[in-house]
Structure 1
Amino acid sequence: MDRNILGMVLLMASTTASAQVTLPTTEKATYTRSLSGQWDFKYIAGSSAGSDSLFFMPEYDTGAWKTIKVPGNWELQGFAGMTYGKKVRAGLGLYRRTIDIPAEWDGRGIYLCLEGVNFGYTLYVDGHEAGSFNSSYNRQTFDITRFAQPGHTHTLAVRVDTRPRGFEFDTNDDWSLSGISRDVLLFALPKVHIDDITINTSMDGRVDIEALVAGKGKKDKTVIEGEITDAEGNRVASLASAATTSARHRAAAGVPQPHLWTAETPYLYTVSLRLKLNGQTVQTYNGKVGIREIAWDGGIYRINGRPVKFHGATHHDLSPVHGRSITDEEMKRDLQMMKDANMNFLRTSHYPPAPRLLELCDSIGMYVMCEVPFGFGESNLKDSTFLDDLKNRARLTLRRDKNHPSVVVWSVGNENPVTDIGLKTGLYVASLDSTRPFTFPMTPSVYKDWAEGHKAFDRANGFNSRNTPYIVSPHYPRPSEVAAFAKMYDRPMVATEYAHALGTDFGQMQDIYEVMATTPGILGGSVWEFFDQGILVDTDKKPTPGSKFADYVWPTPGSYYDTSGNQGTDGMTYADRTPQTDYYQARKVYSNIIIREAPLRVLNRFDFTNLSDIDFGWQLMGDGKELASGKLDVECAPHDSTLLSLSPRVPQPLSASKYWISITAKDRQGRQIYEKSVRLCPDGAPGLAQRIGGEPEGRTKVKKGVVTAPGYTFDGNTLSLKNAEGVEIISDMALARIGRKPTLASTATQASRRSSKLHSLWPAYMPGKTVTTVEANNRKGCTARVRFDCDSTRYIDGTVAIEHKPGGIIGYTFDLTAHGNGETVEAGAALMLPKELTNMRYMGNGPYAAYPGRDMLSEYGLWSITSGDLYYPGNRQHVDIALFTDDDGNGFAIVADDADIAVENHDRGIVVGINTHVASAYNKYEWPAGMTETDGLRMKGSFDIIPLTGRWNEATRAIFGQPDGEIPTFMPFYHAYDL
């Protein structure tokens, strides 16, 4: 069925007397006062004010009180300790300040608006109670006309309580910070004023406005008139209601050839309204409107008649410095980062966001699921007396945010049990707004159970797939479950939380979203979540853990981001919005342009944009050098694909060893939104090992197990290697690696009672070498039989062979077998490097670590990184050559054939693993795909090692630059987790 949509108009929430008032935007400078700034403040632990119980009286002396910044949270200003989740400490915050009511406000109604206060509060003016409220994230406006005298000064007081009735609803999976956390506004309106505005639009350009007018006498006639202007300020339509004594006014206009609002084309018109009373203008109003239309039926969700996909993340209103009082610049940064990561969807978590965030979503182009706040508080949902509380939260959420074009779905709570009052709240949302669907976000078990229960709910209310007011939202489906989940219901599905981004693993996102993108009935989803929920804490009481595992991030030795253990380390960025590799993975997976190979085909996953609006460029690369370049003209409609005609001529004779085509795509703003490397394999290309090595000549000598060869010295007693300058470049050439260094996600999964029973890991990811027997060591090479004991029942044994080849090249072959029960996510041989070999330059997929299931993240190319870099640890795929050197160029090259190489910092040095078995990355409580049984697991492979001094040959310099060339290191932190 067709659904009209709502434009954006800024509304004030209801008063305790249930009135609703609208800000007079054109009169804002004269009739509006911000009360942000310093207030007098006292914090009291517990729930009793004691001797301060009359603090709200004007004569009460607050001279000994401290001051506090409003908006702000008192925990971040030194008044109390922080609490995560619903274990909120009982406490009171007493706020006082004076306000001056301008004399020119005489004859008007005077109002006080509090945008958000955690968790409940009572407002006083000159000692009189003006009202109370207890929904932390809903806007509340109080009519204080009876207390306020224009031209006079008044005492304003607010008593904030951390544990009012139903406070649990506002403590869902985040820091429970207290106080006046959003703006406070004092303003005046004419006695007859616009009480509420609803704007509905449709894709044919129709704009319907309904306005409620308050304060009228029985014989007063009012009319609403105005115009609609486009983004350039041109009038495109006029509108006017009939003059009436009724409170309700309706007006309509038609915008010819409208620019339709979407996340891809966020075009906004301006609606200017005038309220006339008995022929005289008494109030003016300007607001933005986006013309668009929503429909959902038969399992498909559409915007402006077209099926769309949501790809985004959940978002808390949280700053590591400002807490709940996020600033305009912080909101802009978050949204721009989301757009830069190819996201078009934001789910507010778990409450209506700061109103400015939605204004920015309207203008930047972001679909929003806006949440009616009652996550957690499960026991309250069985208490029928809370129904009015839930309905009030719903009413206030919709009244404030209903006119934003960016708001496209209402979320009714979060992961709540299905109860009678919860369902009634959903129906109430549908009764307030038929232009959008609502949804109940559910855990997987509740979602499965409700697959049957919803049928009775539908029958009782007359719903079916064509007239349903709600869509469905499961949380955390596994890749194998996504398609099956979509079939459980006959309506659109959106995964409002999936692929939990705990730590830096993020193993399932790619596979899950690919099913979403290719299944018509799945609307898409939002990853939990965009950033770590961390608060910056200055302290010397929590020392950094050195090289040990950590749950926290230290930007300096004396400060860290408190994430309450691993409860808040679930973002795609760190708390300060430094991107993790997860962020860049989301950017790649969420790209609306996907290029497939064999044959070369481009998929257009835009919902409204033809690829003719995208600038495509290509470069032919040889060993990292550009050999040719050009542009591509691509014509491809949304949700379609087309072949790419691209076959550049490779220059002859072949002078490079590796060739590839690098394709880039930029949007209308010049942002690079996608890149793809396509490898070429022309016959006759010179080998890398012969080019990098091949120069040293001379005799190979053996003395007391030490082999001196042209270009290096190999010690068969310690299985170590030095270059021609005598610099140790490998301290141990015979190690086994079976598993990975622990991470936040792997540790949480293994500790989970639910998940730990599913798999039993081999206990030591790099077992110690206990027996080494050198069976042969001569000028031709060395063969060593090795054994690595893990515990009394598990060990690895086998052989490592070194071959001394001509030209200073060392052939390395390993054949190892694991014995003993268990499973592993990774296995192979390993080398231990001295800590000084900090520089890694390689030709392979980069620049980020990637694994099966997240292999879209990186592209083939020439990359460089250091062991001190934030993005260093992890696996590099499709590596053909990798150089590990110190700052002077001493080190070695590994030349392999499409290798998977793992790099990790270790107490003893730097571990370089050459993997023969690799599983995907972890997700929170989810094991990697492709895990391998260890008993009898054989690890067999070979590669070449070429020792290097600081005098690189011409071929090495041509590919990798100068040996002492500086590699930039990105490490914004003193210490971080998962390093």
Structure 2
Amino acid sequence: MNLRTIFISSFLSLGSLGVLAQEQINLSGTWQFAFAANQKEADRLERFYTPDFAKSKFKSTPVPSNWALLGYEEPVYRGFKDNQAGEGFYVREFTIPQDWKDKRILLHFGGVWSSAEVWLNGNELGRHDCGYTSFAFDVTNKLKVDEPNKLAVRVRQITREYKFDVCDDWTWGGIYRDVTLEAMPAKRWIDDVVVQTTFDHLFQDANLDIRVMISDKHKNTLPGNYPSPGEPYKLCFTLTDKEGKEVAQRQMTVPAHVSTDREICLSLPVEAPHQWTAETPYLYSLKVELLEKEAVTHTRMERVGFRQISTDGGVFRINGQAVKLRGVNRHDEHPDVGRATTRKQWLEDLTLMKAANINYLRLSHYTPAEGFIELCDSMGMYVGNEVTLGGAGNLMYDPSFSGAVLQRSYETIVRDINKPSIIYWSIGNEDPLTSLHMVSVKLVKALDPTRPVLLPWRPEEWLPKEVDILAPHYWNPQEYDRLAGHSGRPVISTEYTHAYGNDAFGGLEARWKALTKHPAGAGAAVWMWADQGVKTPVRKKEKDLSEDEYLRINTAGWDGIVDSYRNFTRDYWETKAVYAPVYPVVDKISFVPGQDSVRIPIQNDFDFTNLSSVKMAWSVREDENVLYSGTDSMYGYPHTVSDFKLPVEKLVTVRPGKTYYVWFVFTDEKGTEITRRAVELCPQTEQPVSVPVCRELLVTETDKVTIDAGDIRYVFSPKNGQLVSAELKGKQLIKDLYPAIWRKLNQGETSGFGKENLRKAVDLTHYTSSVTAWKVEKTPTNAVIRTTVDYRVDQENHFTVTYRYSIGVDGRLNVYYQILTKVAVPWLPIVGMSMQSVSGLDQVHWLGLGPYDAYPNKQTAPILGVWGGTAGSPDVTGIKAMRWMERAGAEGTIHVSNSGYMENDAMCPERTYILSGVFGRPEKGRRAEESVPQLRTDTGKPFVGEFSIMLKAVR
């Protein structure tokens, strides 16, 4: 039985298919539907397929669809409690053309979750138990030509093996992909076409190897078991390029074979074909025609990409070239349509993915709609397609489920075996290796020896030789480094960084570089592409992560680098930056003012694209000012470094206190931005020593210590050891400055700390303070306050801060602090000081990394520059890596110099945290590796930081 739906909409643009489109009828559209919430209701509908069954309970419903999204049933995540779920009953009447009377006809289902029992005109066709694979029934001689036909489908969600199709995702019942009828000749037809492309050793010329299964049902005309001589026939093979020009053609005569099928094998040599890769997704069209008595009786079309995969020597290669797979995981779903996705959703996903430098998709944890993979073929995306076994659990130890394993393996492979975008087959998900897994592996290898196979989560080097690729999950960089450094098989980490929430996703760049710096490190996939949200017409009963009262997002599925509706999150930009195939190798470079140029190395990590196709716009900057700019292109082979000669002769004079850097913006041939990066230009010159302006420095001792330096006044309290006011020309700009080691944890920090540790945590922002040391010193050039303060939360949680405040005659306040903690929670989210400014200073600017948040292990997307916005706005709130920042308003400007971080509080726009340390971004339940700042409280060592404050008049 041919399980492949062969005439698809994307083929209809080819002129040769215009007539053949009549050979298929799409039954999608409006069906009659009844929902049974329980077994009692289902029993009442049991005879729904019979002609005289009353339809009073049936309502019109769209097919494809999932009934939970239509409001019939509350969506369920990860399977049903106590294996109790509703059922759906579908009825559709249709007619067929008169000339189909003598045809062989197949009824195709693209996907039904999870079990379909099918009747046609009251006759039972059969049952299919697998929620994600396509299937078909032969309905020849079961259709009526002169009157309507009644198709009835009972869809169950609970079967003995339904857990095979339950994964880390929503569980939705329904006929959610197209239902079609396909007609072909009844006596002899082309049942199947399988293609394989093989290059010569130079990867220049290639052979297109074709296997065609011709079916024959002519009756024997001789008595007994002697075969009839029958009639020979011809096969014509025509390969055309993208423009429709004929590339190769072959016609052959095949001797008759009566009442039996025959596989015909043919090899078409092709000189220097365009090679299919994700960077160059060139597709040819193969037309196979069956001719009887010189007339074409049947035709099939296949799209062909000349692409060859190998894993020899432990290196994953496509067309002889080692490739790096920059990947994400994807569920085939959208909140508005569930799993009944269409070209609109597929195109949106692939367009946004390619814009983020993603070139590889792991299809988790099931095969998607066929049209999606065909779009990957045409747009250029490497695909790892997956056999849905991952939800089976202990069922994989039960040999009675071998049929379920073999069926899923077979149906997954045969539908998509010709798709060039599929570069490996994946068996299950995060499973132990069992005998049934090996049965699947061996069947897949037998059906398709051209592609490698992997088992997601299994990295063991003792795995059977049939497993071509090692696939660890969520290792730290050191572990990836060790494995890829000596592995004899390619390593593809099918899940390696978890984009949980919007405040985690730490360590992506470190893992990516540790893995892919080795030849065996072929690539990895982020978990996951989009938040798993679903919208129904029924208001949700319980609050969840979505503010929309109709949109459900389970915490287990809040893990996309885009949200459910494909709006970008911070993690999308980090992914785009880490995966950028073109970038400067260095982040800073030295120069001598007056020299002509500096050479900046540019890495080309494309696998097949020369740098000559990349445009590079650059601009040399001094803080926020662009000094000069230009646009260039370079020549550089894939996987090489080329030097760009940046002119710097205009940087003759550099000003003290200014930062010089060059911005690079790389774009492809279509003008789409690949990435942007900054390289700091570090002048090698003796900087003149700044001599403070000699102004009066007055220290007044009362119950408050007041220090005047010209127009600037600082007020300190001996009672709490803190700065309590800072004024410029008599106008207060700063209201308070106090230690900050705690604030409300965001979702990422909560995940990183863990539930057990959070039970120990207390609010470290509420405390009593007592000064244990206080000393004021004055010299001709500055005033110094040294003080130690004990901050006590309760008997078990307290911390001590030692301050050194130094005020120069120029009015600059230098703050040095040491914070020694004794608290129950083993980590802190932040360490530094909290500065409370007066209202009105709402314009915030900073020199540092921006515009996105930056953390110790998540700072590839933000780049060096001057950034800003209004206090409390999304542009400013969050963690920012800074060198200096300013808060400005009508009363003046606060300028803070700090080689660390700042965080502006969205709930209190006047508050800015000036930080020396930030908790490294975790993933879901996994903290950052130990090389990343952990802000541990049990080391016995104090946290240390320093920064300076200067009050300035309005510019």
Cα displacement (A) at 1:154:
1.5
Cα displacement (A) at 1:123:
1.1
Aligned partners of 1:909, 1:618: CA distance in 2, in Å?
35
Give percent identity, aligned residues only: 28
RMSD: 3.4
Cα displacement (A) at 1:578:
1.7
Pair 1:611 & 2:626 matched: no
Cα displacement (A) at 1:638:
1.5
Q: Which gives a bigger RCO, structure 1 or 2 (Cα 8 Å, sep 6+)?
A: 1
Aligned partners of 1:386, 1:834: CA distance in 2, in Å?
70
Give the secondary structure class of the aligned counterpart of 1:768.
coil
Q: After superposition, what is the alpha-carbon deviation per residue over 1:765-784, rounded to whole angstroms, capped at 9, x for unaligned?
A: 75334215595799968766
Give the secondary structure class of the aligned counterpart of 2:927.
coil
Q: How does 1:483-494 map to 2 (within 5 A)?
A: 483-486=481-484, 490-494=488-492
Cα displacement (A) at 1:254:
2.3
Q: Specify the alignment match of 1:770 in structure 2.
A: 768
- Structure 1 residues 469, 614: closer, same or farther in 2, change over 3 A? same
1:796 aligns with one of 799, 805, 828: 799
- Structure 1 residues 799, 477: closer, same or farther in 2, change over 3 A? closer
Is the Cα contact below 8 Å between 1:242 and 1:249 reproduced in 2? no
Cα displacement (A) at 1:874:
3.8
| AA of the residue aligned to 1:524 | G
- Structure 1 residues 771, 146: closer, same or farther in 2, change over 3 A? same
- Structure 1 residues 183, 688: closer, same or farther in 2, change over 3 A? farther
| AA of the residue aligned to 1:880 | R
Q: Specify the alignment match of 2:496 in structure 1.
A: 498
Q: Specify the alignment match of 1:197 in structure 2.
A: 193
Q: Specify the alignment match of 1:977 in structure 2.
A: none
Aligned partners of 1:397, 1:786: CA distance in 2, in Å?
67
Q: How does 1:138-537 map to 2 (within 5 A)?
A: 138-191=133-186, 192-203=188-199, 204-217=205-218, 219-246=230-257, 247-442=262-457, 447-448=459-460, 451-452=461-462, 454=463, 458=464, 463=465, 468=466, 470-486=468-484, 490-504=488-502, 505-536=504-535
Aligned partners of 1:922, 1:350: CA distance in 2, in Å?
24
Report the TM-score when normalising by structure 1. 0.84
1:831 aligns with one of 829, 835, 848: 835
| AA of the residue aligned to 1:45 | A
Is the Cα contact below 8 Å between 2:871 and 2:909 reproduced in 1? no
Cα displacement (A) at 1:922:
0.5
- Structure 1 residues 827, 540: closer, same or farther in 2, change over 3 A? same
Q: After superposition, what is the alpha-carbon deviation per residue over 1:482-502, rounded to whole angstroms, capped at 9, x for unaligned?
A: 133346853222111111221
Q: Specify the alignment match of 2:740 in structure 1.
A: 736
Q: After superposition, what is the alpha-carbon deviation per residue over 1:692-737, rounded to whole angstroms, capped at 9, x for unaligned?
A: x999999999997496887677564584447669987544311222
Cα displacement (A) at 1:687:
11
Is the Cα contact below 8 Å between 2:612 and 2:636 reproduced in 1? yes
| AA of the residue aligned to 1:234 | K
Q: Specify the alignment match of 1:92 in structure 2.
A: 87
Q: Specify the alignment match of 1:972 in structure 2.
A: none
Cα displacement (A) at 1:323:
0.9
Q: After superposition, what is the alpha-carbon deviation per residue over 1:21-65, rounded to whole angstroms, capped at 9, x for unaligned?
A: xxx954454232222222221111224522211111122121342
Cα displacement (A) at 1:285:
3.2
| AA of the residue aligned to 1:615 | K
Cα displacement (A) at 1:112:
1.9
Give the secondary structure class of the aligned counterpart of 1:245.
coil
Cα displacement (A) at 1:135:
0.8
Pair 1:577 & 2:566 matched: yes
| AA of the residue aligned to 1:78 | G
Aligned residues: 895
| AA of the residue aligned to 2:921 | A
Q: Specify the alignment match of 2:594 in structure 1.
A: none
Aligned partners of 2:206, 2:340: CA distance in 1, in Å?
37
Q: Specify the alignment match of 1:964 in structure 2.
A: none
Give the secondary structure class of the aligned counterpart of 1:884.
strand
| AA of the residue aligned to 2:527 | W
1:39 aligns with one of 28, 31, 35: 31
Aligned partners of 1:524, 1:683: CA distance in 2, in Å?
39
- Structure 1 residues 553, 696: closer, same or farther in 2, change over 3 A? farther
Q: How does 1:47-62 map to 2 (within 5 A)?
A: 47-48=39-40, 49-62=42-55
Q: Specify the alignment match of 2:844 in structure 1.
A: 840
Pair 1:116 & 2:111 matched: yes
- Structure 1 residues 825, 650: closer, same or farther in 2, change over 3 A? farther
Q: How does 1:12-91 map to 2 (within 5 A)?
A: 12=5, 25-48=17-40, 49-87=42-80, 89-91=84-86
Which has the higher mean CA deviation after the structures are superposed, 149-158 or 344-353? 149-158
Q: How does 1:632-651 map to 2 (within 5 A)?
A: 632-651=632-651
Gaps of 5+ in 2: 8-15, 200-204, 219-227, 590-598
Cα displacement (A) at 1:861:
0.8
Q: After superposition, what is the alpha-carbon deviation per residue over 1:524-556, rounded to whole angstroms, capped at 9, x for unaligned?
A: 111111111122367776797xxxxxx6132x5
Aligned partners of 1:359, 1:469: CA distance in 2, in Å?
26
Cα displacement (A) at 1:313:
0.7
- Structure 1 residues 891, 293: closer, same or farther in 2, change over 3 A? farther
- Structure 1 residues 772, 800: closer, same or farther in 2, change over 3 A? farther
Q: Specify the alignment match of 2:592 in structure 1.
A: none
Give the secondary structure class of the aligned counterpart of 1:442.
coil
Give the secondary structure class of the aligned counterpart of 2:171.
coil
Give the secondary structure class of the aligned counterpart of 1:646.
strand
1:562 aligns with one of 540, 552, 556: 552
- Structure 1 residues 700, 933: closer, same or farther in 2, change over 3 A? closer
Aligned partners of 2:434, 2:292: CA distance in 1, in Å?
47
- Structure 1 residues 932, 699: closer, same or farther in 2, change over 3 A? closer
1:939 aligns with one of 924, 940, 943: 943
- Structure 1 residues 261, 841: closer, same or farther in 2, change over 3 A? same
Is the Cα contact below 8 Å between 2:164 and 2:390 reproduced in 1? yes
Cα displacement (A) at 1:909:
5.3
Q: After superposition, what is the alpha-carbon deviation per residue over 1:566-591, rounded to whole angstroms, capped at 9, x for unaligned?
A: 20012212222222222111111111
Is the Cα contact below 8 Å between 2:767 and 2:793 reproduced in 1? no
| AA of the residue aligned to 1:269 | Y
- Structure 1 residues 163, 221: closer, same or farther in 2, change over 3 A? same
- Structure 1 residues 503, 310: closer, same or farther in 2, change over 3 A? same
Pair 1:103 & 2:114 matched: no
Aligned partners of 2:775, 2:167: CA distance in 1, in Å?
64
Aligned partners of 1:797, 1:594: CA distance in 2, in Å?
45
Aligned partners of 2:711, 2:255: CA distance in 1, in Å?
97
Gaps of 5+ in 1: 1-8, 15-23, 545-550, 954-979
Aligned partners of 1:389, 1:688: CA distance in 2, in Å?
78
Q: After superposition, what is the alpha-carbon deviation per residue over 1:815-835, rounded to whole angstroms, capped at 9, x for unaligned?
A: 433245734464222224578
Q: After superposition, what is the alpha-carbon deviation per residue over 1:674-706, rounded to whole angstroms, capped at 9, x for unaligned?
A: 22211123378999999xx99999999999749
Q: After superposition, what is the alpha-carbon deviation per residue over 1:255-284, rounded to whole angstroms, capped at 9, x for unaligned?
A: 222110011111111222322123210123
Aligned partners of 1:658, 1:108: CA distance in 2, in Å?
77
Is the Cα contact below 8 Å between 2:898 and 2:948 reproduced in 1? no
Give the secondary structure class of the aligned counterpart of 1:386.
helix
Give the secondary structure class of the aligned counterpart of 1:94.
strand
| AA of the residue aligned to 2:637 | A
Aligned partners of 2:585, 2:169: CA distance in 1, in Å?
40
Is the Cα contact below 8 Å between 1:701 and 1:709 reproduced in 2? no
- Structure 1 residues 928, 63: closer, same or farther in 2, change over 3 A? same
- Structure 1 residues 57, 768: closer, same or farther in 2, change over 3 A? same
Q: After superposition, what is the alpha-carbon deviation per residue over 1:625-645, rounded to whole angstroms, capped at 9, x for unaligned?
A: 221122344222222223332
| AA of the residue aligned to 1:518 | K
| AA of the residue aligned to 1:595 | P
Aligned partners of 1:375, 1:75: CA distance in 2, in Å?
23
Q: Specify the alignment match of 2:11 in structure 1.
A: none
Q: Specify the alignment match of 1:589 in structure 2.
A: 578
Is the Cα contact below 8 Å between 2:374 and 2:419 reproduced in 1? yes
When Rg is computed on C-alpha atoms for both structures, the one with the higher figure is 2
Q: Specify the alignment match of 1:884 in structure 2.
A: 887
Aligned partners of 2:750, 2:716: CA distance in 1, in Å?
38
